[in-house]
Structure formats: C-alpha cells, structure tokens
Structure 1
Amino acid sequence: MTDYLLDLTAQLEDVDTRFKRRIRDLLEQNTMANLSQLLLPQAHVLLENLVAQVGVTRWEQEIPGWEEYPWRGTLRPGSRLAQLLGHFDLNPFERDVLLLCLLPMLDAGYSTLIACLRGENRSAITAEFALSLLCSNVIEQAHGQLYLHPGANLFSHGLFKTDPVFAGSLQTPLTLDPGVFHFLLGHEALPFALELGASWVVPSSQFIEHTFAEHLSRCCQTANRQGAVCVVLRTSSEASVAGLVAQILARNDRQTLLLDLNLLPEDLTQACGFVTQALREVRMRGAGLLLSGAGAVRDSRPHVLAFLESRLARHTGPVLMVIARHLPVVRLSNLPHVVLEVPSDVVHIGTRLFYQQVGALGVEESVDIARLAQRYPLQHAHVAITLQEASLYASQRCDEALLNDGDLRRALQVRTHQDFGSLVHRIEPVRTFDDLIVSSEVQLQLKEILSAIRQREGVLNRGFGHKLGRATGISALFYGESGTGKTMTAEVLAGELGVDLIQIDLSAVVNKYIGETEKHLAKIFDLAERDCGVLFFDEADALFGKRTATQDSHDRHANIEVSYLLQRLEQHPGLVILSTNNRANLDTAFNRRITFMTRFSMPDASMRERMWQAIWPHGLALSDAIDFADLARRVEITGSNIRNVALLATWLAAEDEARCVELRHLEQALKREMGKLGKIYS
C-alpha cells in the first residue's frame, strides 16, 4: 500500500496547499461567521494549530520512501490515479475535485477544518466549496459547474455518490464512492454491495489451443481499438466459457468481471445503482465485462436492460455476453455485435488433459482413463474438484486406497448431472443385459450401438471428423409393438455405458403455443451436451411425426421443429434413442438421419419360455405343476404382459398365504391380463 500512498501524496500536495491557503485567506478577511463567539486571536491559534496537524507535510514524515520518491509533482504513468484519470477521461478540474474529496478520507482532520469553514458542524465538501477553492474567478466557477452536474462524468460513472435532494445545486455534497477510494489505495476486492451478483473470474488454468480462442481474442482486440463491441457467445456451458474469456483477456493484462443480471436487486433504483457500480469497477480497472442472464432479464425486467444499454453506449473496452444456445440472441442497442458459437470441445476436457490430471493421482491399472474421458463431458473448470471428490470416495474404503473405476465414475457422473427441471425424468439403470431377453438379431445390433459409442472418438480423429462435418451424432430408433422391451433396452444400454437414462417428458415439452416446443427441446439438447446421460424419446412420433403440407402457421412451425430436431440429432455428442410403436408415423427423413434402426418383434415361443422362467425373483417358490413351456406355446403375449401376470400371481399367492405361487394363481392372473388385451384365456 505504501507505493499507492506515495503516488497519491505526490498529487495531493498541490490541492492540500490550496486548501490551507483558502483557510488563511478567510482568517485574514475575518469572514468566518461561525467564530463570532470566539475571540479572533484564539480562533487564529486554534485553526493554525489544526492546519499544522493535517496535510501532506505530516504524511511525508510518516510514509517511508518519500524523500527518494522520483515522481513528486508529476503523475507517475501506470499509477492507480493515472489509470483512473485515463479510463474515465477526466480533465484537470475533475481531477482536482477528486483529489480534494480524498483529503478527508485520508485524514479526518480535514473534516474538522471544513466544519469550521462551513459552520454548524457541516463537514461535507459541497460543489460551492469546491468551486470556491479550485476556481480563481466567477467565469471559472461557472465553467466548473458543468462538471459537477449529475449527468457529468464524476456522477454518471459512479465515481461520486448522488444525492437526489441537492442534485445539480451548489449545495450538492461531493462524496467520493468508497470503491474508488479503495481502488486508489491498491485494494483488489469488489465493493461488498457487488459481491452477490458480480465476481472476478479466475482464468482457466489450462491453456486452450483452439481456433475459437483465436477468434475470440481477435474480437476482444478489435474492441480495444474501436471502442465497445458486444461479443455474444452462444454455448451450453457458461461456467467454462467464463474461464476461457478470463484466460484470453488475462493475456492482455485484463481482468474479467462476470455480471449475472439474474442476481440484480428487485428494486429498479437499486438494480440501476448495481449496474453503475459494476461498470465503474470494470472501466476503472480496464477490465473486460462478461454478462450472463440477459435472456431472462430481457423478458422479465426490460427497464433494467434498457438502463444497461444506455450505460454501455459510453463504455470502453471488451463487452461479452454468454447466452444459452436455446435462447435468441439479446441485442444491446448502440453497440455492434459479433455472434460466436462456442464449440463443445472448447469447454469439455479432452482425453489428453484428463490423462495428465488423473495421472498425478494414484489410480488402479484397470481404470480405462480414455473411455472415462470420452464418456463424461467434464468441463475444464470442474476437473480439479471432481478428482478431489473421487479421492474422497476412495478414502471411504481406505485412507491409502488408489482411485478405481467406480470412484471416478461416481464423481464424474454426479458432476456432469444437469438440471432439466420438469422436462425430463432421470432414470438410474438397475437392469443389465442379464435381465434382457431379446432376439439374437437385436442383441447383435445393441452390441453394434455400443461399439459405435466407444469407438466414435477414435474414428473421428482418424479423418472421419472432417468427412462428416458436424453430423457426428449417434442415434437409434427402436420400433415395434408395445411391451416388446424398447424402454428396458434403452435402460440396459445406459447402464452398460455407466450413465443415466434421461427420458423426455412429452407432457412438459409439447406446448400448444408456436415456438415453445422448439425452445423446450433446444434447451434439452443444450443441457444434454453437458450431461453424460442417454437421451430417450419414448413415443417419438408425437414429436418427430411426418411433415405435412403447409396449411397455416402451425403447420409451418411443426415442420420447422422436425427439421431442427433432425439436425440436433445429427450433431448431438451423446447417444439419442427414440422409440415408437409404429415406424410408419415417423417422418421419412429419419431413414437417413438415424444411425441404427432396431425392430422389436413379438417374442416367439422360445423367447416367451425364457421370459417366464427369468421373471421370478430368486427364492420365490413356484409350484411344480406350472409348465412354462406349455404357457409359452399357448399364450402369445409380450414380456411386459408376462411381468404383469407374474406380479399379480405373486400378490394372489401372498393373499392366500400359500407356500408357493400355484397354477391357479397364475391362471387367474392370465385371465385378467388377457382381458385387458381384449382376448380370452382358455
């Protein structure tokens, strides 16, 4: 702090001298009404003693290094005061007003002197007092009033606090904002009032070598040369983009302030004051401004956004806005915009980096690090804490335990979970391939799907990434009659991959209002890019039905939705599974857009016998009179029907307090299930 005080003291010397000269002039003129109760000689003595106790002279004696300081009487380039004057383009009069108001903040003795000069214990520096002290004649004072207006630099940028009662008058109190005072003293922390909605972003620790980083860097440099430019970053991962922005700006010695507009105070006046302070901190430090939450504020609080736009019209330096891909771009009037799509591989950690991070820890040899890095789209900002969490899981087994596959999977899976709200149901798989009874052809196709998922990254890196462009998604369509195992198979695949099944809730997604369904689905796909789960659209024909001839605006939007979703299917980095009872209801474009098409047919007698035998829990007693082979030949039902029959038969046996499930229980349950299907059991 000593260096900052040296810079300030060197500049305060002139203002301090003028301040003391003003006091002596008033004493000589005997015009101080507040001293009428005192004998003049006593007043002179008191004030002269007080003047001697404050000021630069005393600071010179107390601040180490003052005698050797080379910049006395000159503004040191690069000093905090030089930054402040330059960033806000303050003229010499505004500079002197600022320095004058610094005096009582550095030494309370000045407040006592001002109170003596003004009378009635009024210690605040007013516009009138500043003008009388800093201006030599009436013309200079009239000119100086232009810079003390509420709309002038000192007030509009939040350097000084405003008082609505005296705004624009000669009695306007000139109160320097504490945030400015602390900046000049070398403090780095944000004002307390800003901490709930703004923060300095820590740059990403890992240097990101990507063409996108180069594009973003050039945009920020353009903003430095040509004034404020709004760079809109469309992404599905705001947190990692913030770290990337901070890293790029840090290369040019700039900090990055993240302002979350969702966290602004509810009161409009307080929200506007918050924005003003945040922009002041950014400009004062020559930092970059990163905005988030603009999409929500545009719809719910347009007045706040309008105020921000008015302030940014005079802002200098980089302005960036991060916005979710499923939301339209928010435009800030009076600023030119550049829209950049943030590639997913920029925010998600790659295999090489994951190897480096995990390799520093003790890991069991059986852990397939490459597969974990490919399966879980972990963000750069979350690597360190996720591995720390994995170590905590390992320590539950033993203090010195090496990380195993389960530790890493648990930590990675929880970390990558996204909040879809009410749009999806998250299912944690419990059933495996041992529980799945399907035809050999279906089993073969399931193995092919798993192979595609596991080998995709390597194949793309061998040249197919360039050949395919952005159409690198893997999708599967399961079609066939209800109850043939489509949903269960989707769960089994997710379990085999070690992730959750994310089932889309069509009742929450489909909306009668034009464009709303598309917004919901876009949000799901954006969040799913950060989530490691398998997306599952059950009864997909409700969303992906055939496009029709355009009769009205609803038809037009329905067709747009199908086209958009087909495009997202091709680009989604994870696995997407769709199921339908009737493939003919789907748009024909699916024939070439879907990677795998798997038909689930009605089980034959052999499969039904296996299902009858496999459905019963271990330890549940069954009557020897039950002939599953005979049931499989006589009753043509699906696996879900068999499950229902087995469950009802067990309930009936328990109600009878029977020692085992008997044939009569099974036949009664079969009658009920066949009745549901409109068939007769005999």
Structure 2
Amino acid sequence: MSESLQTMTLADELDRVYAMVGGEQPEAVATEGTPSSVSRRPLDRVVTQFGLSDFERDLLLLCTGAALETRFLQACAIANGDDRASWPTFAMAMTQIDGAHWSALSRLHPLRYWRLVEEGPSQSLLQAPLKLDERILQYLLGVPSLDAVLEWLVRPLAAAEFNGLGEDARRIAAHWQRDSRRPAKPVVLLGSDPSAARRIFGEACGETDLLPFQLRAADLPTATIEREIAARHWTREAVLTGAALLLETSAADSAEVTAAAVAWVRSVQVPLAVLAEAGSAMEHVEGLPVRMAQPGPEDRKHLWLESLGAPGASLNGQLDRLVDAFRFDEGTIRLAALDVSSRQSAEDDGTLADALLQSCRDHARRPLEGLAQRIDPRARWEDMELPESQKETLRELMMHVRHRRRVNQDWGFSSRYARGTGLTALFAGPSGTGKTMAAEILAGELGLDLYQIDLAAIVSKYIGETEKNLKRVFDAAEQSGALLLFDEADALFGKRSEVKDSHDRYANLEVSYLLQRMESYSGIAILTTNMQRALDPAFLRRIRFIVQFPFPDEASRRQMWSRVFPSATPTEGLKPEQLAHLHVSGAVIRNIAMHAAYMAANDELPVRMSHIAAGVRTEYTKMDKILTPSETGGWI
C-alpha cells in the first residue's frame, strides 16, 4: 500500500477485507456439493484462476470492502476528495494502490473481461463508480448461489441419476483429465436419448470431481451479444466452482437454434459435452465423439426391472413382450415405469401388466402425434370378405410379428443380419377392397396402435425437409412398436425417373432415402396401393409380404350386403342376393348403406330396398357410372 493511503485508514480496511475473504472458507458456509478439487481459499482461487496481478487483486478487495462495509465507503469518499463520491474508481486505485498498471483497465484483461468488477455510468472510465459483481461477492463469502445471468439458463443435474461408471463415461473423464491444463475440446455424445446422455455425463463428472449442469440449446439466446455474455459468465462460473456442462440439442432444432449452439460451443472454454443426434449439424462439431448405443433387448429388460422394482420380476413373459414391442430409450422406460407406479398399487400381476401396457402406449404415442393419424382398430375378421389364400397370408404375417423376438434375438438372426429385421407388407388392389380394414384387423389382433401417415405433414416443398420428417416418423415408430400404414403408398414410393432437372434429382433422392430407411427399419409397416406397377421395383425386395386384394365377386358382395347394417339398424325386405348384382367394392357398399340409413331415418321408416336404390343412384352419379339392367335386375 502507498503511504498516502495509510493516512486515510483505507489500508487497514483493505487488510481487514483480505482477512475476511482470503482465509480458509469455513465448513459451515461451503457450497453444498463443492468438489474437493475446488480451493477452499476463495480469494486465492480467483487470483490464480483468472491470473490477477497484485494490483488487480487489491482493486478487487477495494470493491469487496465497498460492498460490505459502510466505513469503507467513507474511506473511499476521503480518498476521492468528495463526500458524495463514496465509491471505488480506477482513478483512486491508480493513485492509492501500489503496483498500478494501465492494462488493468483493458477489456481484454481479467477484471473487465471476466466481469469481476462492473463500472457504472460516467463520462470517464477513470471516474466511473466500480462495483464488485454480485456472484463474485457471494463466492468470496462462501454463499451458495448461481450467477444471475445463468440461473434461468442452466440447471444442475441431480446426483441420484448417476449410479456407476461405464466405458463411455471413463473415456470422457480421461479426455477431461488429459486436457486439464488447456481448454478441452468438447465431447460430442452421438444419440437421441437425453436420459442416457445425462447419466453418462454425470458419471464422468463424478469421476473427475466436477459439478454437472445441463442446458437446452433451445434456451440459448440467439442474439450474439447476449449469448456471448452468457458464455463468458458460464466459463467464469465453471472455473470458480469446478463445473461441467451438458448442452442438449435436438434434430428438431431450428437453423437459428443450431447456429446459436455452435457459437456457444466455440465460446465456452471449460469441460463441455454436447448431445447431438446422428445426421444433425451438431454431429460435426469438432471434439471427442462418443457414440451412445441404443439399449438392446436385454438392456431394456434390465432397465424395466430396475425401474419397476420387485413387482416387475413377477411379469415374466409379459415383460418380454413389452421389451420387444416398445423399443424405448432409457429415459422413456423410466418415465413409463414411474407413471405406472404412481397410478397403481401393483398388487395384482394382471392389473400391473395392463397398466404397464397402457402406460407404454401413452408414451409411445407422443412422438407420432402431428406426423401421423392414429386409427382406433374396430374391424374384425368377420367384417372382411377375402379369399382364403389371402387370409392365410395375413395370418402368417401375424405369426412373424408374434415370434420375431424368438427368431431375431434368441435364435440370433439380428446379430447375424443387422438390416432387414423389420416387417414390411404391401397390400395391393383396387380402391375400396379392404386394404385399410385389413391393417385395422392386424393392429387389433396384435394389440398394436395403428398410425396412418399424414402425407400433408410429411411431404415438404423445401429440399431435405421431407427426408427429415420421414426420419422422425420412422424413429418414433421404431420406439413405439406401432404399426405404420402408408395409404396410397405410390405417392411416396413411386419409381425413380430419368433426371431432366433439379426437381427430378431431388425427387429421386427422396425415394433413395426411403429405400435405405426401409432396409434398416426394424418395426412394422404396411403399404397400400391400387397402382402396384407405379412402385419402384427396388422396394419389392424389401417387402416381406405382398397381399393382393381382388375386386369382390358376387358371392363376396352378397356376404357384405348381409352384414353391412349394424344389428341395431331397423331393416325391412332387404334382398342381399339382388344387391350382390351391383358391381361395386366393399367401400362403396358401405357408402350406399349409410346413405340409405339417413334416407330411412328421414322417412321415419326401416331401411328398405327403395332407400338403398336412392343410395345406389347417388353413388353411381358420384362415380360417373351408369347402372346396367343386369345390376338392377328389376328391383330399381
């Protein structure tokens, strides 16, 4: 200290502040969870980690004293020569503190770069009031807190999520320890399961005595200045407390969010991990790639048993069926199990299995909502008229679904053949012959959700967006165990054409992507078309079953007419053998029956042949088709 400072008693005050914050941090006020690697001498850690000179350290103490003691403010007023100027300034520090240097005022030097002190409004930097940053004051005093800039941005990860050290976590820990003396390159966790990423990240933090925090890319400020300020504050926080951050990104993030995430990664210079889905822009961030494997059947079963606790062990084969049907990631398994536990006592095994199945369905439906329309399967075998050979093919299809776990997992087909373990069927035939009804019957018999792909939500005029939407559909369907129905499949799976312009090239790219995705798809998909020849031949190799739906003959139409009206519908004098002469499909028969029912209701009469005749005329007019004498047979 200079001699003049001592005459104003400021030197004694600085020494007292140094004793207050420079000594060892008391156990009673130590931040909960602070790792052993963090120094218990807060002032010394600030000086060492941020490279403060003796002058900068004393200037920091000057601002600390002004934040804590009224007497200190009085001493500052004396030093400034103005009773109203009771605050520290750079001018006062330069004249009153030994070892002063002008570089301390630079934005590139620690005090201002790391925002350890903040200057108030003034026409002159030298005369601007200086204030110690609130987070730095709390850290020096040992008060548990989080930077105000970060408290709505980052969140601590609960230690309960970490229960061991896997190979991926060991690699990450070794990477951080190896690069401990210089800014480590980020770790890129390749996958789509945030829960697994948090567990691996937390295990690595536990191994390296780092406090784990998480941040969603969607929460990042997109404005450059705000984002850079937040990145600098996080780096400062991580240096002070010994913390690491998991940045969670998603393939659904907008281009603006992705750009902000990339910029954040470049700005942060402390241990950082990034969750990046395969195929996303974040996958190419420079760093240590760690590919998180999707849990296999045995892994999923272990997670279910661990999450359900003792009641799960009594499910036996029922749990195996759930494991096979719902290919959930770790986070979804834990959420579904928690949902069951919160709603049900689990005393009855049958009730537990039903509740678990419903919980799985609820969680499986969420990713598909908005991309596909869920159809409630109501059709039954007796509702469909189809030749016996086609019915036998459908039964064989169901047999493949029911026994795919045994063949693929127990008998080793999935380990021998990595691709083509999914089940794809093509239902081909004229419109209205029961293709969609057959898909309903299969879904109902197998106990699966049926989703009809909404082409309006999938197909986009923007290049690459259709493929992204299809990826979301297939990824969600593989996890959910749902049966995907691509109605009018020729719209998506049409033949590739000769490239004459850019539109042809990108259309061919969409078909090529579908070919690759169908090859690797491990779920169940049904394609329906009334133009089989319009499909690209390459799809046929990837389709396990092809079922032809012929136009119904007269005997089949007679059966359809005899069953078309619900049992509660009043009818009178209907003659299915005459109605069977109408050369129409099953869907048209249903439309005629519904129109006749409304006509009868309006007349307050049972449904009669006259009402059906009115329905026939309406449908034939709609189809621009002429009724022939052989069809009417004198009854119209």
**What is the TM-score of this pair, normalised by structure 2?**
0.83
Distance 1:233 1:466 in 2: 24
Distance 1:562 1:528 in 2: 19
Paired residue type of 1:585: A
Paired residue type of 1:124: W
Distance 2:444 2:554 in 1: 28
Cα distance 1:92–1:393, how it changes in 2: closer, same or farther (>3 A)?
same
Task: Give the equivalent residue in structure 1 for 2:507.
Answer: 558
Task: Tell me if structure 2 keeps the 8 A contact 1:474–1:576.
Answer: yes
Task: Give the equivalent residue in structure 2 for 1:117.
Answer: 79
Task: Determine if the alignment matches structure 1 residue 322 to structure 2 residue 278.
Answer: no
Distance 2:428 2:396 in 1: 17
Cα distance 1:162–1:358, how it changes in 2: closer, same or farther (>3 A)?
same
Task: Determine if the alignment matches structure 1 residue 547 to structure 2 residue 496.
Answer: yes
Find the residue that maps to 1:345 and give its secondary structure. Answer: coil
Task: Give the equivalent residue in structure 1 for 2:359.
Answer: 411
Task: Give the equivalent residue in structure 2 for 1:476.
Answer: 425
Cα shift at 1:435 = 4.5
Summarize deviations over 1:508-550 as a string: whole Å, max 9, x none. Answer: 3223333232232223333444444333222222112112233
Task: Give the equivalent residue in structure 1 for 2:449.
Answer: 500
Task: Give the equivalent residue in structure 1 for 2:304.
Answer: 354
Cα distance 1:105–1:406, how it changes in 2: closer, same or farther (>3 A)?
farther
Paired residue type of 2:91: E
Paired residue type of 1:654: A
Cα distance 1:502–1:403, how it changes in 2: closer, same or farther (>3 A)?
same
Task: Give the equivalent residue in structure 1 for 2:114.
Answer: 157
Distance 2:38 2:165 in 1: 37
Task: Determine if the alignment matches structure 1 residue 263 to structure 2 residue 219.
Answer: yes
Cα shift at 1:132 = 4.0
Task: Determine if the alignment matches structure 1 residue 126 to structure 2 residue 89.
Answer: yes
Task: Give the equivalent residue in structure 2 for 1:585.
Answer: 534
Task: Determine if the alignment matches structure 1 residue 667 to structure 2 residue 613.
Answer: yes
Cα shift at 1:217 = 5.6
Cα shift at 1:407 = 1.4
Task: Give the equivalent residue in structure 2 for 1:641.
Answer: 588
1:378 corresponds, among 321, 328, 331, to: 328
Distance 1:367 1:327 in 2: 38
Aligned pairs for 1:430-579 (under 5 A) are 430-433=378-381, 435-462=383-410, 463-579=412-528
Instruction: Name whichever of 149-158 and 182-191 sits farther off.
Output: 182-191
Cα distance 1:368–1:436, how it changes in 2: closer, same or farther (>3 A)?
farther
Task: Tell me if structure 1 keeps the 8 A contact 2:425–2:527.
Answer: yes
Cα distance 1:506–1:303, how it changes in 2: closer, same or farther (>3 A)?
closer
Cα distance 1:570–1:613, how it changes in 2: closer, same or farther (>3 A)?
same
Paired residue type of 1:180: I
- How many residues align? The count is 618
Distance 1:346 1:133 in 2: 69
Task: Give the equivalent residue in structure 2 for 1:425.
Answer: 373
Cα distance 1:197–1:224, how it changes in 2: closer, same or farther (>3 A)?
same
Distance 1:572 1:61 in 2: 62
Task: Give the equivalent residue in structure 2 for 1:4.
Answer: none
Cα shift at 1:125 = 2.7
Task: Tell me if structure 1 keeps the 8 A contact 2:393–2:547.
Answer: yes
Aligned pairs for 1:16-165 (under 5 A) are 23-26=5-8, 55=17, 77=39, 79-81=41-43, 84-85=46-47, 87-118=49-80, 119-135=82-98, 140-142=99-101, 145-161=102-118
Cα shift at 1:593 = 1.7
Paired residue type of 2:104: Y
Cα distance 1:348–1:171, how it changes in 2: closer, same or farther (>3 A)?
farther
Task: Determine if the alignment matches structure 1 residue 232 to structure 2 residue 192.
Answer: no
Cα shift at 1:585 = 1.1
Distance 1:433 1:453 in 2: 18
Cα distance 1:60–1:393, how it changes in 2: closer, same or farther (>3 A)?
closer
Cα RMSD (Å) of the superposition?
Answer: 4.1
Cα shift at 1:354 = 0.6
Distance 1:436 1:192 in 2: 66
Task: Give the equivalent residue in structure 1 for 2:32.
Answer: none
Cα shift at 1:207 = 5.0
Distance 1:308 1:52 in 2: 38
Paired residue type of 2:89: T
Distance 2:95 2:402 in 1: 79
Task: Tell me if structure 2 keeps the 8 A contact 1:478–1:577.
Answer: yes
Summarize deviations over 1:399-425 as a string: whole Å, max 9, x none. Answer: 999843331122222223334574432
Find the residue that maps to 2:590 and give its secondary structure. Answer: helix
**What is the TM-score of this pair, normalised by structure 1?**
0.78
2:158 corresponds, among 202, 205, 208, to: 202
Task: Determine if the alignment matches structure 1 residue 611 to structure 2 residue 560.
Answer: yes
Paired residue type of 2:192: S
Paired residue type of 1:562: V
Cα distance 1:424–1:289, how it changes in 2: closer, same or farther (>3 A)?
same
Task: Tell me if structure 2 keeps the 8 A contact 1:350–1:374.
Answer: no
Distance 1:250 1:342 in 2: 19
Cα shift at 1:372 = 1.7
Task: Tell me if structure 1 keeps the 8 A contact 2:65–2:72.
Answer: yes
Task: Determine if the alignment matches structure 1 residue 390 to structure 2 residue 340.
Answer: yes
Find the residue that maps to 1:668 and give its secondary structure. Answer: helix
Paired residue type of 2:574: I
Distance 1:311 1:530 in 2: 36
Cα distance 1:106–1:518, how it changes in 2: closer, same or farther (>3 A)?
same
Distance 1:208 1:577 in 2: 42
Task: Tell me if structure 1 keeps the 8 A contact 2:221–2:260.
Answer: no
Find the residue that maps to 1:526 and give its secondary structure. Answer: helix
Task: Determine if the alignment matches structure 1 residue 248 to structure 2 residue 248.
Answer: no
Task: Tell me if structure 1 keeps the 8 A contact 2:228–2:267.
Answer: no
Task: Tell me if structure 2 keeps the 8 A contact 1:479–1:580.
Answer: yes
Cα shift at 1:665 = 1.7
Cα distance 1:616–1:172, how it changes in 2: closer, same or farther (>3 A)?
same
Cα shift at 1:495 = 3.7
Task: Tell me if structure 2 keeps the 8 A contact 1:351–1:374.
Answer: no
Task: Give the equivalent residue in structure 2 for 1:287.
Answer: 243
Q: Which segments of 5 or more consecutive residues in structure 1 lack a partner in the other structure?
A: 1-17, 28-46, 67-74
Cα distance 1:235–1:406, how it changes in 2: closer, same or farther (>3 A)?
same
Task: Give the equivalent residue in structure 2 for 1:69.
Answer: none
Paired residue type of 1:407: A
Distance 1:193 1:503 in 2: 46
Paired residue type of 1:662: R
Percent identity, aligned pairs only? 30
Find the residue that maps to 2:155 and give its secondary structure. Answer: strand
Cα distance 1:206–1:254, how it changes in 2: closer, same or farther (>3 A)?
closer
Cα distance 1:63–1:79, how it changes in 2: closer, same or farther (>3 A)?
closer
Paired residue type of 1:24: Q
Cα distance 1:412–1:64, how it changes in 2: closer, same or farther (>3 A)?
closer
Find the residue that maps to 1:549 and give its secondary structure. Answer: coil
Cα shift at 1:641 = 1.6
Distance 2:281 2:186 in 1: 15
Task: Tell me if structure 1 keeps the 8 A contact 2:66–2:87.
Answer: no
Distance 1:124 1:347 in 2: 66
Distance 1:236 1:533 in 2: 19
